[in-house]
Amino acid sequence: MPDRPLLLAAALADRRPAPDHAALTARALVAERAGLDLVVLEPGPLDPLLVAARLAAQTAAVGIVPVTSTTTTEPFHVSTALATIDVVARGRAGWVLAVDAPDDVRTTVTWDVPDDVPGDAAEHLEAVRALWDSWEAGAVIRDVATARFLDRDKVHHVDVAGRHLAVRGPSITPRPPQGHPPVLVRVTDDATLDLALRHGDALLTRDEAVARGGGPAATGPLRLLEVDVDPTDLDGLAARLVDEHAAGVHGVVLHAADLEGTLAVLLPALAERDVRPTAAAPPDPDPTGEDPPAAPPRSLRDRLGLPAARNRFEVPA
């Protein structure tokens, strides 16, 4: 039996033209109260980054992880949006990086989408991370004696120059609370698997062999298996997750229509088999946003067992 508990996530989606965002919030709170590690905000008619920001203000413990494509976005905007969500969530943000098929999106943006979308994604992610590093932790000094707000030696141009994109930096948003919010790569083929293995903190896959750590995935990022929940066989699901955990899967992303009903069966079964302990009740969210508790919540990096993020611009003491 692996010694680390099974990570548990819920995918939240509403692809109807007029999504019920209150219901999305309700499901995120179900996940939070059940002690889940994170919720994944799926793409849909509503922009997942904005839905994530709202959920970040409505929750107090669970990781908030929107899915955003690199193919149709500017790394600068994605970097500042994720940093902002991490600020609102006080260190609970993450990112599911997805890659589009170029022919599906070529006519939806005003730049030329390259055929090499995995290469574009790698450069995009590099730019996002470089921008997160562009402000060192102590960059804001507010030194009244010298009239300086900023220590400009601690804010850096990033000068990312790839084959597909270039970003000068620095970011307009200071370094997020986690330094680097965790980057989870959604694996859909060999190219995205390669991207995940090289650059991801975690991967999401529907391929059990990959999720168990077969082949090149044996060492490298955390492996989370995406599972569609069959509500008529929750006992079977529990048994399967116990087996997958034993086989080396680090975590599971549940795609469930009835999240509450699913967790009511699943969580006791996983606790009983020592796959995942019962979670303590989380604190209530701050309804005003003005008065957060003094102590920040447990960071998503910590929940995932990731080490503190290093800053490429910081000289080791």
Partner 1 sequence: MSAPRKQVRLAAHFPGVNNTTVWGDPAAGSHIDLASFAHLARTAERAMFDLFFLAEGLSLREHAGHLHDLDVAGRPDAMTILAALSAVTEHIGLAATLTTTYHEPLEVARQLATLDHLSGGRAAWNLVTSTDAVSGANFRRGAYLPYDGRYDRAGELLTLADRLWAQGPGPFATTGRQVSLAGEWDLATPPQGRPVILQAGDSDAGREFAAAQADAVFTRAGTIPEGRAFFADVKGRLARHGRRPEDLLILPGATFVLGDTDEDALERAAHVRRQQVSGPTAIVFAEQLWNRDLSAYDPDGPLPDVDPVEGEITIAPGSIPARAFAGKRHETVEGLRAMAARDGLSLRDVMVQTRARHSFVGSARTVADLIDEQVQADACDGFILVPHLTPGGLDEFADRVVPLLQERGSLRTEREPGTLRDRLGLPRWTPGQG
* Residue 49 near partner 1 by CB under 8 A: yes
Which residue, among 43, 306, 59, 314, has the nearest Cα to 182 in the 3D structure? 306
Q: Out of 60, 135, 179, 221, point to the residue binding partner 1 (CB under 8 A).
A: 135
| CB 293, CB 283: distance < 8 Å | yes
**Alpha-carbon torsion 33, 39, 44, 47, what sign?**
positive
Cα separation, 215 vs 11, whole angstroms:
27
**Cα 189 from chain centre:** 20
Cα separation, 210 vs 201, whole angstroms:
15
Q: Out of 72, 102, 246, 247, point to the residue binding partner 1 (CB under 8 A).
A: 72
Cα separation, 88 vs 86, whole angstroms:
6
* Terminal alpha carbon distance of the chain: 40
* Residue 167 near partner 1 by CB under 8 A: yes
Least separation in angstroms between CB 254 and partner 1: 24
Number of shown-chain residues binding partner 1 (CB under 8 A): 62
The residues that bridge with 40 in the sheet, in sequence order, are 11, 65
Least separation in angstroms between CB 99 and partner 1: 16
| CB 64, CB 39: distance < 8 Å | yes
Cα separation, 208 vs 192, whole angstroms:
16
Q: Out of 1, 115, 144, 307, point to the residue binding partner 1 (CB under 8 A).
A: 144
* Residue 13 near partner 1 by CB under 8 A: no
Q: Out of 26, 137, 138, 148, point to the residue binding partner 1 (CB under 8 A).
A: 148
* Residue 3 near partner 1 by CB under 8 A: no
Q: Out of 5, 13, 33, 44, point to the residue binding partner 1 (CB under 8 A).
A: 44
Q: Out of 41, 65, 67, 173, point to the residue binding partner 1 (CB under 8 A).
A: 173
Which residue, among 173, 204, 194, has the nearest Cα to 67 in the 3D structure? 204
At position 224, the amino acid (one-letter code) is L
Which residue, among 17, 18, 15, 11, has the nearest Cα to 41 in the 3D structure? 11
Q: Out of 35, 63, 170, 297, point to the residue binding partner 1 (CB under 8 A).
A: 170
Give the SS3 label for residue 164: coil
* Residue 232 near partner 1 by CB under 8 A: no
Piece in contact with partner 1 (CB under 8 A), picked from 70-78, 197-205, 214-222, 228-236: 70-78
Pick between residue 85 and residue 234 the one whose CB is nearest to partner 1.
Answer: 85
* Residue 30 near partner 1 by CB under 8 A: no
> DSSP per residue over 56-69, as a string?
HHH-SSSEEEEEEE
Pick between residue 151 and residue 258 the one whose CB is nearest to partner 1.
Answer: 151
Least separation in angstroms between CB 135 and partner 1: 7
* Residue 155 near partner 1 by CB under 8 A: yes
Give the SS3 label for residue 291: coil
Segment 115 to 134, residues that bind partner 1, using CB under 8 A: none
| Residue found under tokens 């590099």 | 126
Least separation in angstroms between CB 204 and partner 1: 23
| CB 208, CB 214: distance < 8 Å | no
Q: Out of 9, 88, 195, 227, point to the residue binding partner 1 (CB under 8 A).
A: 88
* Residue 290 near partner 1 by CB under 8 A: yes
Pick between residue 73 and residue 188 the one whose CB is nearest to partner 1.
Answer: 73
At position 54, the amino acid (one-letter code) is R
Residues near partner 1 (CB under 8 A) are 15, 17-19, 21, 44-47, 49-51, 53-54, 56-58, 72-74, 76-77, 80-81, 83-85, 87-88, 107-111, 135, 140, 142, 144, 146-152, 155, 165-174, 287-292
